[in-house]
Structure 1
Amino acid sequence: MDIPVRAHIERLLDAHASDGLSEAVEQAFRAVPRHLFIPPVALACRDDGPQIIDRDADPDAWWDAVYSRASIVTQLDDGATDIRAGSGDYTCSSSAPSTVADLLQRLELAPGHRVLEIGTGTGWTAALLSHLVGAANVTSVEVDPVLGAQAASNLAASGHAPYLVVGDGALGCPERAPYDRVHVTCGIRRVPYAWIEQSRPGAVIVLPYCPGFGTDHALRLVVTPDGMAYGRFPGFASYMTMRAQRPQRDQPARTDADKHHLTTRVDPRTIGHAPAGADLAIAALTGLDSLGQADQDEDGPRYRLWVSDPAVPRSWAVAVWRPGQDEYQIYQVGDRPVWEEVVAAYFRWVGWGEPGRDRFGMTVHADGQEVWLDTPDQVIGSEARSAC
């Protein structure tokens, strides 16, 4: 490895010195240079907004971005939009190094562990896993054949040869089971039971749990001999949603009967800026999604919070905050009182003593999944597994 590359890697590790990286993960970052998995043109997600990086046009900016804390988007709109456009839905990225390191450390990997990775993406984490446990022990599944081919090329160039599969990650890879670890690099709303079935008792599954309301969460599950998995939410993790679990986008035409104009004394920011524990509770109690946005229009500053039913796009509401108001406008569509449900769920969380994220957990079994508070017998929300 030449001196400039080594210097970039050490600078990246220095930037994460306070994150408590394990020695094994540090050595993996040194052994598997990130730049080998970043295309010449990509989109760096910095604190001040996304920025196109072009290795040929501005090599210094490209190298600086690649070896920064930023996530690097490598695909827009499932490949339908040229990355140079700079706008569109992000559908593949090299995740922020801090998030990559955090999930790897939560797996508690050891040489020889058999690992199933869901979402090959650029191939960087597959290469890191290969360094940590041996390439022969890594199986990585990617749904997008174009991404899969590029990842295979990246991995070959980096000198790593894990077992690669193009297919639906929700199905796992039964022919390579059983697994000691499952590493998931896409946002999950419903944990596929196939991952538990294909894991040995005592196996660890680490994934980004992205229920759709507020912030997202890291989830660490341990598989038990009775074919179930239990775990808690030890921190933050946010990834692009698994393609098979993306919410519906088509919205049916609305009629006047669908529309309701309401008011509330609950500041929308109370809900939109609630702690992670509240987000988990509201998601479990209601199954609703949310999206908050602060901006400014001709009437001045405002904050809008959208709440929606992912299963029924017609059911949604938006609450609007403006400074100096005691009551806030609600525009609600559909028969389901989504705003009222969210407010009721928030105050149930308050009534529980405002528990933090670390007090919640999840159980996954053949029939579905349950979110609980403190112990698995205190279920606050459940979701049955689809028959299909």
Structure 2
Amino acid sequence: MLKQFFIICSGSDTDILDKCSTGEQNKYAGIGATVFFTAIMAFIAASYALYTVFDNLFIAIAFGFIWGLLIFNLDRYIVSTIKKTGSITDELIQASPRIILAVIIAIVISKPLELKIFEKEINQVLLEQKNELTLANKNQIAEQFTPTIESLNNNITALRQQINTKETEVNALYDTYIAEAEGTAGTKLLGKGPVYKEKREKHDALLAELQQLKAENKAKITAAETQIATLKGDYETQIVSTQPIINNFDGLMARVNALGKLPWLPSFFIFLLFLAIETSPILAKLLSPKSAYDFRLEDQETAIKTNVLQNKNQREALLKTDHAINDRIYNDIEKEDELYTYKRKKVRELMQLQADAFFKHQKNAF
């Protein structure tokens, strides 16, 4: 039962193969088994690849099953259409497009399985890429806020500097009028004279300006600090909202690119393995000598071809003969007076009817 199933998978003619030896049947059963298990590997590979795309097991299995059937049908077609002609050159020319197709199928099958085999290494590469993307994302978002924040900080620094400068001036005036009162500077007269009062009034006026400046600048500093806090909050919000996009950076294309960053030799050998599996039925047919199945198949095809050619030639000869007979018949009839007289009579009657109809039509017009 299993042997018969694999023979069907090989695409061979079961009626012809039943008349061949057991060894011949086993050869085609082996070819069919290769085709079948290649389709199984294609199903697994496609299911895994589509699972990384859709994140849904049932959808991945459904599409993977369809893909497996497609690969099975292609492989079966490739193997069944290779005919043994006895000429190596003709067979190679015949097999070359099928070998190219087999190479493409091997690449398509092997790549998703490589992604699964090297999954841990790929995850490490993706982690490094995600970290780089996270830092780059933070820097790009910071570029939107940093200039404004720096400008606000500079304004705060300038406002505080104004206060400090004013305080320095007030303190200097304070030291001046105190020294005047003590008689250690200025007029050097002890006591609170007119000069002292003048310097004290100047100090008090500047102190009032300082208090007003402190109040105004404090309000400005508070507003700037509030704006900075808002900007920092917006920055953190954007970081949090964009981080899931980076965290989900593990799709099929990202994994394929990450696989390309790994050493190429292991991946190349896996591809060679699947290429050998995919092309083995074709190579087996090319390398094997012309067997009983090939002779029987050729005999059946040539018999049909001969029969078709015979039927075609007979139809052409029949048509040619029929034309010749018809020509002779019409040539003989052409010389008969009886047929001429009869046809002349009928033509006369037809022309009379046409004349009557024309006259009737003209009469009705008036």
TM-score (norm 2): 0.20
Highest Rg: 1 or 2?
Answer: 2
Higher fraction of helix: 2
TM-score (norm 1): 0.19
Higher fraction of strand: 1
